[in-house]
Amino acid sequence: MRRTTFITALFLFAFTAPLFGQDVETTPQDHAKWRALCYAQAVGMDEKATGKLAASFEAGELEVLELRAQVQDLEARIEAAMAPYDASVEKQLSKEQRARLAELKAKGWKACSEPCPPPTAASCAPAEGKACCAGTKATQAKPAPPAPNATLE
């Protein structure tokens, strides 16, 4: 039980820590740790085994570093192109809705084009320093990973 608590705490920290800063730069090591934590949570690994996985994933993350940069550039271009449409839509909101939206934006919310996960949904997608849909990166809704030591079908 203690191992599960540690892995869960580490997992939650790894995925929520980037949400506190808008422009957090993530490193290949961060992505490797997050990927390893997904595996660790899914199959119930201890801290030492999780560290070994992260080390293995780091080489792959170094290989895809340029691709991740291209994705970030494309996302920025999409957001820039959508900005006039966001402004147009926001003019259609009521005074109360605009006030609520301003409050959410102050907390890091950004509009997104993908479905937003429910606030309680477990996801292996790191926030990558980008707030979306009330502070989480938009991803296709994924089922929560199985509990450690659960039987996989």
Supply the pLDDT for residue 112.
76
Provide the pLDDT confidence category of residue 24 given band limits of 50, 70 and 90: low
What are the residue boundaries of the structural domains of the chain, listed by start?
A: 2-106
Look at residue 26 in the predicted model and tell me its pLDDT. Answer: 86
| pLDDT at 66 > cutoff 90 | yes
Token pair listed for 114: 């993908």
Long-range pairs, 106-115, Cβ under 8 A, ≥24: 107/131, 107/134, 107/135, 108/19, 108/22, 108/135, 109/133, 109/134, 109/135, 110/79, 111/82, 111/86, 112/138, 113/78, 113/82, 113/138, 114/138, 114/139, 114/140, 115/139, 115/140, 115/141
Give the per-residue pLDDT at 94.
95
Burial 90-126 (b: 16+ CB within 10 A, else e): eeeeeeeeeeeeeeeeeebbbbbeeeebeeeebbbeb
Q: What is the pLDDT of residue 2?
A: 52
Share of the chain above pLDDT 70, in %: 58
Here the tokens at position 70 are 């291209």
What percentage of the chain exceeds 90 in pLDDT?
Answer: 48
The model's pTM: 0.52
Check: CB of residue 36 under 8 Å from CB of residue 54. Answer: yes
Q: What is residue 111's predicted lDDT score, i.e. its pLDDT?
A: 80
What is the per-residue pLDDT across 76-131, written as a single tens digit (0 to 9) for each? 999 999 999 999 999 999 999 999 999 998 988 888 766 655 554 445 544 444 44
